[in-house]
Amino acid sequence: MPLDNQILGALYEDNLIGRDEEIFIVKYGKKEPSYRLVVAMDESIESFPWSKMDCYNYYKEFREELKTCIHEDELEWECRNWIRQKKTRQDSQN
């Protein structure tokens, strides 16, 4: 599943990736929100936008955590939630 603001927004709004986990999501902005991944590793914390995630291990960990959160086919979940997020954004702009 590719990451973008639509997918991270759906995960954030549905609390699927919690704030007490090793990887979690924070939201910035209200009118046109963007999301950042936060990775807690050992005693350090890294935060970056999805478009700047350059470490495959973070993406792999994120995917593993996601698999435990959704209980359906990943592609079906992604398509349904991407469309829902896009529609919500379009509706809020009108």
pLDDT of residue 18: 62
Mean pLDDT calculated for residue range 26-34: 79
User: Over 29-89, what HEC string results?
Assistant: CCCCCEEEEEEEECCEEEEEEHHHCCCHHHHHHHHHHHHHHCCCCHHHHHHHHHHHHHHHH
pLDDT digits (tens, 9 = 90+) for 66-81: 888 888 888 899 999 9
What percent of the chain stands above pLDDT 70? 91
Q: Residue 15 belongs to what H/E stretch?
A: none
Residue 38 pLDDT level (bands cut at 50, 70, 90): confident
Q: Where are the domains of the chain?
A: 5-89
